[in-house]
Structure 1
Amino acid sequence: MKRSLLALCILLATVALAQPPATDVLHYKFQLKLSDNSDSIDGQATIRVKWLQASDSLALDLTGFDAKTGKGMKARLMAGQPYILVQQGNKIIIRSKNDITAGEEREINILYSGVPADGLIISKNTYGDRTFFADNWPNRAHNWIPCVDQPNDKASVEFLVTAPDHYRVVSNGRLLTDTLVSKGWRFTHWYEKVALPTKVMVIGVARFAVEEAGKAGKVPVSSWVFPQNKESGFANYKKAVDVLSFFADYIGPYAYEKLANVQSKTIFGGMENASAIFYYEESAIGVHSEEELIAHEIVHQWFGNMATEENFAHLWLSEGFATYLTHFYLGKQYGPDSLAKGMAKDRDRVVAFARRSKQPVIDSLSPYMELLNENSYQKGSWVLHMLRQQTGDDVFQRIIRQYYKEYGGKNARTEDFVRVAEEVSKLSLKNFFQQWLYRAGVPVLSVKWNYDEAAKKILLTVKQQQEQLYTFPMEFAVMDDERRLSLRKFDISQRTQSYSIDVTAKGKVTLVADPDVKLLFAREK
């Protein structure tokens, strides 16, 4: 996901670490009817559930009707089912008339209707055309569909949408049906067989022009843009074919049956919905490069969608991965200077954020939307960058691939990634991750040196100014008129450490700290 200013202004409930679940939703089937006459939607949800513990009830999330705003959903059971439904605020409690045993699976049918308070954004695009776009992250899906709105309860999903026939519908998965069913109406059925978290289950309904942009291996890649942006939008999104191919080769096989890149109305710059990425409206207006944004959202198809954080306290496993692997991709395409410039820019952002925030990357206290910050994105990215420096490129790739192999289709916590990294690299990395992820801030360093020309030595002193000490390697380049003469690496772990560096050059020399942008640190002001 790429942030927008609007997204950062929205505050939701404080992060709540998920309790062990009593149920596991296996599949959602949502039948929806949309209209141009009203913002109210009519829905039927068929939900297949497995009970992990003996119980007589099921709790679902669904925003209730608010008489003051006229928004929210009213729900009831379809007739003939052995349950009682009670709607309480933003919860639906469904009680069985008979006991349910552990391991039992059941299917429940719920009818609901109302104007979505959020989640399904019904508005007009820049051309005044009406649009419907789901925008679920982080836990906003329950504003328009009954569900367990947490990232750790994944399920397969299908959307069956009846809408006016001038619209086209895009969604997760494979298109099964797209047909005119009666005068003025179109019926569209999408089915995603891979289990998804609700944050990336979506529909997009608008007047679309559609192009098959190509194939990444056997995976079809398409572009869905507003007709007014047909030429520029198709040109801007076409790069997704190459990007998808790159990451499928680097990380592992792409899990979904297609990739649609969709111009949309979203509060985010981009939203990584599984196999149907939604981009901000202007991304398809005018011919320009959206390669960085496209790469970021495509990385999420692996990290965030398939290998999903257990809860949002571990959001860096999604956003940090997408941020760093995007830099890595751009470095491979445009040279190492591109990677170095991107990391240097991000380091400045992390340092500025650290000066005003006392929260670590692993953050169970901040509201969800406030987690869309430099900790989750840029600092998480920097942790991976420094890990790659320690392990080397080949081992780093093996770590990434093994982590995805183990947790694709599942949920993970940071300690799961740490375990994989240690097993693959054969290194002890607990202190590395502890100091960078579980501690707020960054090292603040005083780096002072002077050159004794007579002795041909540089005398270097590095002092850690922050309260808690860090342990890290740091490189220094001896330079002569912009030419690198030598490179030295020192292991820093004490409050103050001093070194002597021999110099063979004649004349003026300088010393450059971290010349290749490998360390996250702030300079003493």
Structure 2
Amino acid sequence: MKNVCYTAFLLFVLTVNCTLAQPPGATIDVQHYIFNIDLNDNDNTIACKAKVALKFIKNAKSFNLDLVKKNAAGKGMLVTSVTENGKAINFLQNADNVSISAAGVAGSTHTYSINYSGIPADGLIISTNKYGKRTFFGDNWPNRAHNWLVSVDHPADKASVDFVVSAPAHYDVIANGLKVNETPLPQNKKQTHWRETAQLSTKIMVIGVADFAIQQSANINGLPVYNYVFPQDSVKGFKSYAYAKEILPFFINKIGPYAYKKLANVQSKTIFGGMENAGAIFYFEDSPGSRDIESLMAHEIAHQWFGDAASEKNFYNLWLSEGFATYLTHYYLENKYGIDTLKKRLIADRIKVTAFEKDRFTPVVDSTVKDNYMPLLNANSYEKGSWVLHMLRRKLGDEVFWKGIKQYYALYNGKNANTDDFRKVMEKASGKELAVFFKQWLKTAGHPVLKISYDTSTEKGKIVVKVEQQQPVLYEMPLEYIINKQSFTVNIKNRLTTFKVQLPINEITFDPNVNTLAEIIMADATYRVKK
């Protein structure tokens, strides 16, 4: 009966799905995965029976799926069979993929079964938590899923997914989607089945298997919110994760509908402080009681919209994920605690951006990083990307900016975008040409360095303020300043910009509202001129 249900569901998926953004040169578009995974407490070997439903994008005699092969150290996966409708298919397993000798014509759909087993070299972290209890946590970002999941391990190939996990009965299992059922098995084991019908990249497909204390903390318009924490941390864990009840409706109201059918906040053991797995966010072990838990949760929940539902086409455009989550965190905290909180966070981010550029001078959209994408987790992707959104918000105004953000999410929910896709949406929403803005802030390395000086010798009763761009590449931007509590703006474009100020004045303050990603260097301090 279970196989019949799977077959019917796969036929449904293959019927309704369409080809979305794909990796360059892709032969196939995966529509749906079913991973039947068997775990045990005797060793770290996992056994997987995977079903991969896919559509051929073009005529081909074979295709590849990503999977790390068992190595000399004994880590990795060994494929034992590939079949279609019970018929054996020839395959060749290489170091990082499985080449499957199955022909297909463009538009045709197929479902392949792949059996494999082994000890994951990465991706599924099998370990013990701080209390010495055994745990299993998926940890796929950026392209580490194929250490344990046979897949197209690229953010542009999205698919729905079922996880059917068999494990010792004392464990609780969390995964993407909704729980379909939980069934006792012989030998004191149980099977837990989770299904996610939304389109996911492999980077956010996960399972978490541990001894958990579980709480449903809220129901937001029919959307259940759960907390999964280690039993020893249940009191402070449930208290810490309660911020989700505020954060989730805030982003729903500001951006658009939540893409998934639940939100689970999960204490875990992974390499990141937080990982935005779709509908099942993993937080680091010591997150319960952490002083920064609210901002961390806001960041990871914001990712459910940007990075998860609306994803980047490739990791070079990572700022569309991390920059968005960073700025949305600032925005949430601004609305809760006030504008000064936003200013303080932007100032701290500006320091990080300028410091990072001394170590690595590269644009935000950085295509020079190959294979290992971990270096893209940097101040460009996070803090500078966030700053770009802040300056765009100030350039367009709140009403137009948030209108564009909503339209961008609505258009790319379940799909993939790059920086130019986002630019076009914001141009349409605002009616403004934004190519120069996007090029200088996202595709050009560096930032403006403004040396500000002035003199009183040129014209009696006035001072002449000089703003000199000292960086090699010129920027176009507004620069705010305040004279005697009155606000003004000067447009900076050339190497040297000058403007006159009538005396007497008490002081001049530049960028008082923290709206410019620039270093401001004052030539002297006469007239109490301040940054």
Q: What TM-score, normalized to structure 1?
A: 0.92
- The answer as to 2:393 corresponding to 1:388 is yes
Q: Is the 8 A contact 2:82 2:88 kept in 1?
A: no
- Residue 104 of structure 1 aligns to which amino acid in structure 2? S
Q: Identify if the C-alpha distance between structure 1 residues 437 and 78 changes in structure 2 by more than 3 Å, giving closer, same or farther.
A: closer
Q: Is the 8 A contact 1:461 1:496 kept in 2?
A: yes
Q: Is the 8 A contact 2:61 2:101 kept in 1?
A: yes
Q: Is the 8 A contact 1:232 1:287 kept in 2?
A: no
SS in 2 for 1:338: helix
Q: 1:160, CA displacement in angstroms?
A: 0.3
Distance 1:208 1:412 in 2: 36
- The answer as to 2:247 corresponding to 1:243 is yes
SS in 2 for 1:100: coil
Q: 1:126, CA displacement in angstroms?
A: 0.4
Moved over 4 A (4+): none
Counterpart among 129, 136, 142 of residue 132 in structure 1:
136
Q: 1:184, CA displacement in angstroms?
A: 1.4
Match of 1:462 in 2: 467
Match of 2:412 in 1: 407
Distance 2:424 2:477 in 1: 20
- The answer as to 2:239 corresponding to 1:259 is no
- Residue 496 of structure 1 aligns to which amino acid in structure 2? L
- Residue 490 of structure 1 aligns to which amino acid in structure 2? V
Q: Which moved more, 1:30-39 or 1:209-218?
A: 209-218
- The answer as to 2:304 corresponding to 1:301 is yes
SS in 2 for 1:19: coil
SS in 2 for 1:400: helix
Corresponding residue pairs, total:
496
Match of 1:360 in 2: 363
SS in 2 for 1:389: helix
Distance 1:494 1:400 in 2: 31
Q: Is the 8 A contact 1:236 1:289 kept in 2?
A: no
Q: 1:358, CA displacement in angstroms?
A: 1.9
Q: 1:20, CA displacement in angstroms?
A: 3.0
Match of 1:313 in 2: 316
Match of 1:502 in 2: 502
Match of 1:95 in 2: 101
Q: 1:216, CA displacement in angstroms?
A: 2.2
Q: 1:200, CA displacement in angstroms?
A: 0.0
Distance 1:66 1:494 in 2: 58
Match of 2:216 in 1: 212
SS in 2 for 1:380: helix
- Residue 515 of structure 1 aligns to which amino acid in structure 2? P
Distance 2:240 2:292 in 1: 6
Structural mapping, 1:143-222, within 5 Å: 143-222=147-226
- Residue 477 of structure 1 aligns to which amino acid in structure 2? I
- Which structure 2 residue ranges, 5 or more long, are not aligned? 1-21, 523-531
Structural mapping, 1:344-355, within 5 Å: 344-355=347-358
Distance 1:281 1:502 in 2: 59
Q: Identify if the C-alpha distance between structure 1 residues 450 and 239 changes in structure 2 by more than 3 Å, giving closer, same or farther.
A: farther
Distance 1:472 1:377 in 2: 21
Q: Identify if the C-alpha distance between structure 1 residues 401 and 503 changes in structure 2 by more than 3 Å, giving closer, same or farther.
A: farther
1:379-421 deviation digits (Å, cap 9, x = unpaired): 0001000000110000000010000111111010110001001
Q: Identify if the C-alpha distance between structure 1 residues 447 and 114 changes in structure 2 by more than 3 Å, giving closer, same or farther.
A: same
Match of 2:444 in 1: 439
Q: 1:287, CA displacement in angstroms?
A: 6.5
- Residue 97 of structure 2 aligns to which amino acid in structure 1? K
Structural mapping, 1:1-80, within 5 Å: 18-67=23-72, 69-78=73-82, 80=86
SS in 1 for 2:324: helix
SS in 1 for 2:113: strand
Q: Is the 8 A contact 1:449 1:511 kept in 2?
A: no
- Residue 102 of structure 1 aligns to which amino acid in structure 2? A
Q: Is the 8 A contact 2:23 2:157 kept in 1?
A: no
Distance 1:100 1:353 in 2: 48
1:62-83 deviation digits (Å, cap 9, x = unpaired): 000112x111000022563252
Q: Identify if the C-alpha distance between structure 1 residues 494 and 125 changes in structure 2 by more than 3 Å, giving closer, same or farther.
A: same
Q: Is the 8 A contact 1:162 1:188 kept in 2?
A: yes
Q: What TM-score, normalized to structure 2?
A: 0.91
- Which structure 1 residue ranges, 5 or more long, are not aligned? 1-16, 480-484
Q: Identify if the C-alpha distance between structure 1 residues 101 and 351 changes in structure 2 by more than 3 Å, giving closer, same or farther.
A: same
1:39-66 deviation digits (Å, cap 9, x = unpaired): 0001000000100111121200000011
- Residue 302 of structure 1 aligns to which amino acid in structure 2? W
Counterpart among 90, 94, 114 of residue 84 in structure 1:
90
Match of 2:342 in 1: 339
Distance 1:260 1:390 in 2: 36
Q: Identify if the C-alpha distance between structure 1 residues 404 and 503 changes in structure 2 by more than 3 Å, giving closer, same or farther.
A: farther
Distance 1:124 1:423 in 2: 51
Distance 1:465 1:287 in 2: 42
Distance 1:326 1:215 in 2: 22
- The answer as to 2:329 corresponding to 1:323 is no
1:257-303 deviation digits (Å, cap 9, x = unpaired): 0000000001011000000000011001x374511000100111010
Match of 2:127 in 1: 123
Distance 1:408 1:354 in 2: 32
- Residue 49 of structure 1 aligns to which amino acid in structure 2? L
SS in 2 for 1:384: helix
Q: 1:365, CA displacement in angstroms?
A: 1.1
Q: Is the 8 A contact 1:158 1:191 kept in 2?
A: yes
SS in 1 for 2:26: coil
Distance 1:288 1:466 in 2: 38
Q: Identify if the C-alpha distance between structure 1 residues 456 and 215 changes in structure 2 by more than 3 Å, giving closer, same or farther.
A: farther
SS in 1 for 2:287: helix
Q: Is the 8 A contact 2:177 2:195 kept in 1?
A: yes
Q: Is the 8 A contact 1:157 1:191 kept in 2?
A: yes
Q: Is the 8 A contact 1:26 1:48 kept in 2?
A: yes
Distance 2:358 2:348 in 1: 16
SS in 2 for 1:56: coil
Q: Is the 8 A contact 2:81 2:88 kept in 1?
A: no
Distance 1:208 1:338 in 2: 35
Distance 2:82 2:441 in 1: 52
Q: Which moved more, 1:333-342 or 1:211-220?
A: 211-220
1:4-31 deviation digits (Å, cap 9, x = unpaired): xxxxxxxxxxxxx941311100000000
Distance 1:208 1:406 in 2: 37
Q: Identify if the C-alpha distance between structure 1 residues 188 and 429 changes in structure 2 by more than 3 Å, giving closer, same or farther.
A: same
SS in 1 for 2:286: helix
Structural mapping, 1:505-516, within 5 Å: 509-516=506-513
